[in-house]
Chains A and B, each alone.
Chain A
Amino acid sequence: MIEKDRARFIYQTMNRIRCFEMKAVSLFESNKLRGSVHLYVGEEAVAATVCSQLSEEDYIASTHRGHGHCIAKGATLDGAMAELMGKSTGYCKGRSGSMHIADLSKGNLGANAIVGGGIPIATGAALASKMQNNGRVSVSFFGDGASNEGTFHESLNLAAVWKLPIIFICENNLYGISVPSWQSTSVKDISVRGQAYGIPGITVDGNDVEAIDEAFRTACQRARDGEGPTLIECKTYRWLGHWTGDPQPYRTREEIEEWKQKCPIKRYRTKLIEQGIFTSEELDGIEKEAQAEADRAAEFALNSPEPDPAGLLDDVFYEGGAQV
């Protein structure tokens, strides 16, 4: 059983992510938001649970499907929605959008639109933590598709030989865009790839908060104790298309419906009531609060100014200014 404060954080965070994303979808559909928007709906338990055990100083590196990680690691919905809308008040001044959103002040090394691109970076942050002996851990989030990238294998090997304080979290949502993982991935359980690098690998139900929590606690302790990395595979499912507008000819309605029955938010809600941690009314309150926050975030973003083109070349370099 998860202690009350953390249980609240997890439930609240899952709902904030869900409401944020559904709001983003409606903004996208009304042409108020452009670009690639990869939705995490159905996978919220992973980010919310993992981040409930991290402090602000710990690092995460995320993926193109990164809203959930960003919010769970401490982003405000206002700043995140403004970034998705490309506004100057966004976390990255409107330069990043959904696919590259980052907030280093909260230890978030960024969404990463190159599949597998963030894994070595998270590994490097763990190397820095080890060299600085500051007790921080890194979490590298990535999908099943990324586990076929060289950077995944290189990073697991590096982290293993250097015993780095990092936890590799594979969110296996069963598809790399349209390609089912049985067609692209040589193993049924990606966690067995840990064995190749001499590190523990474990597969958990990625829609089960408590299962994730337990596996991550062990891995996190191992990392903080200087014993090195762990690979955790969370089996989950993205309810929506790879992107907003994906016609999804590669899977059936029945399959999607089946997974919707396993909704991580509903499941945890039932559990929290069963365990007597929160009443149904209290949980309703958390949900309403999340919805209101997402609505306010949309208003904030819509009313925020566009970035000034005069700042186009700012921050290309540390000292500012153009390339040449």
Chain B
Amino acid sequence: MIKTYAMAVHDVMAEEMRRDERVFIMGEDVETLGGVFGCTRDLYKEFGTERVRNTPISEAGFVGAGIGAACAGMRPIVELMYMDFTFVAMDQILNQAAKTRYIFGGNAKIPLVIRGQQGIGRGNAATHSQSVETFFMHIPGLKVACPSTPADAAGLLRTAIRDDNPVMFFEHKALYAQKGEVPEDIDFTIPFGKADIKREGTDVTIVANLLYVGRALEAAEILSGEGISAEVIDPRTLVPLDMNTITESVKKTGRLVVVHEAHRNAGWGAEIAAQVTEDVFPYLDAAPIRLGTAPCPLPFNLGLENAATPQVADIVKAAKTVLYRI
């Protein structure tokens, strides 16, 4: 069935709440408004306001409450209006949710999903446009998912809700309206730690996530017109990370470009470039290139926002650079 990315997220939450009464949603404006981006639209009508629960603007409080509820047998989905707001609740995420199971000696499980949207595309400027997924792959104990299509959103979110660990689930505001085929199977899941080859190719490996999968595919199309065959890989989850698919691709192409909307400095692309360099160095025919957002807060002005973030032409150029075609 063809659905938007937002609808895929919406429907999976509804299906999982029907399937398991322990699942509930809480967050800012999730009830009558249906969330600022519509991902919980009308769910309160079916599930009531106990299970589709408006919270105060109180991120540390309700993220922490999600942890406590998870410890006590519920399976909360905590919606943050913007994933930029994770930082308001950062202690609860990093010091509590991520560590609880381990420091309890394995005697607890925290089936908690913290989800919401992030990224550029709506002129939300510095504090509402960031891509913050990298922060969460640095801390052991959190899983990190970043879907780039409606089907991936559905399959990964269902896996996240059924997972017994805390999962950070990053949607992208500029993808919500994107349409695509989504399987109707209410048990359709995509396992974590399984990258998806979005386009096969032989000359250069381009790794991208979220909005940048689409941009990488556009770049691949342009490159193909110039006789360059690019392989585009979406890791889909950063924790666990499917390095095998990436290294196998690099062994074939000998070239690596990583592109993401997260800041380039110490972004997740750096981790991938480092692991590829460590693991399959002899196969590399060129130094990997990382593309990411410039080291400045995201500016409001559209021209400046574009200047700060990698464009399709930048990806094309990077691919040609690792192929010594520039």
| Chain A contact residues, CB within 8 Å of chain B | 59, 61, 90-93, 95-96, 100, 102-105, 109-110, 112, 114, 117, 119-129, 131-132, 138, 150-151, 154-155, 157-158, 161, 314-319, 322-324
Contact = CB atoms under 8 A, between A and B. Distances in A.
Given A95-B105, A158-B58, A317-B165, A120 B67 contact: yes
Contacts of B102: 95, 315-316
Given A104-B107, A314-B106, A124 B100 contact: no
22 contacts: A92-B103, A104-B71, A104-B104, A114-B91, A119-B64, A120-B62, A121-B65, A121-B71, A121-B92, A124-B70, A125-B72, A127-B65, A132-B74, A138-B68, A151-B60, A155-B64, A157-B61, A158-B61, A315-B106, A317-B141, A319-B165, A323-B239
Contacts of B99: 100
Given A95-B102, A154-B56, A102 B64 contact: no
B96 A121 contact: yes
Contacts of A324: 239-241, 243
B64 A315 contact: no
A93 B92 CA distance: 23
A117 B95 contact: yes
A195 B71 CA distance: 29
Nearest to A157: B56
Given A127-B69, A324-B243, A110 B100 contact: yes
A292 to B, nearest CB: 27
B73 interface: yes
Contacts, number: 156
A227 to B, nearest CB: 17
A100 B95 CA distance: 11
Given A92-B103, A92-B104, A100-B103, A151 B69 contact: no
B192 to A, nearest CB: 10
B240 to A, nearest CB: 6
A75 B270 CA distance: 45
Contacts of B10: none
Nearest to B240: A324
A129 B74 CA distance: 9
B124 to A, nearest CB: 24
B140 A158 contact: no
Interface centre among B55, B64, B91 (most CB of A within 10 A): B64
A324 B244 CA distance: 11
A128 B55 contact: no
Given A117-B96, A120-B60, A317-B141, A129 B72 contact: yes
A199 B86 CA distance: 29
A178 B320 CA distance: 62
B71 A125 contact: yes
Nearest to A119: B64
Given A103-B107, A128-B73, A323-B140, A158 B95 contact: no
Interface centre among B68, B103, B164 (most CB of A within 10 A): B68
A150 B72 contact: no
B222 interface: no
Interface in B161-213: 163-165
B294 to A, nearest CB: 27
Contact of B105 (A93, A126, A161, A318): A93
Nearest to A103: B107
Interface centre among A112, A114, A314, A317 (most CB of B within 10 A): A317
Contacts of A317: 101, 141, 143, 165
Contacts of A112: 96
Interface string B51-83: 100011010111111111111111010000000
Interface residues of B, number: 48
B260 interface: no
B24 interface: yes
A121 B64 contact: yes
Contacts of B241: 324
Interface centre among A110, A120, A129, A154 (most CB of B within 10 A): A120
A131 B53 CA distance: 11
A124 B69 contact: yes
A119 B70 CA distance: 15
Contact of A104 (B60, B96, B108): B108
Nearest to B110: A318
A117 B94 CA distance: 11
A317 B106 CA distance: 8
B50 interface: yes
Nearest to B73: A128
Given A92-B105, A104-B104, A315-B102, A123 B73 contact: no
B66 A124 contact: yes
A278 to B, nearest CB: 36
A124 B50 contact: no
Contact of A61 (B68, B73, B164): B68
A318 B56 contact: no
Contacts of A154: 56, 58, 60-62
The 10 closest A-B pairs by CB, nearest first: A120-B64, A124-B68, A154-B61, A124-B65, A315-B106, A128-B72, A92-B105, A121-B68, A318-B164, A93-B105
A132 B71 CA distance: 13
Given A131-B50, A158-B62, A324-B239, A93 B106 contact: yes
A131 B240 CA distance: 32
Contacts of A103: 107
Contacts of B239: 323-324
B290 interface: no
Nearest to B275: A324
B255 interface: no
A302 B92 CA distance: 34
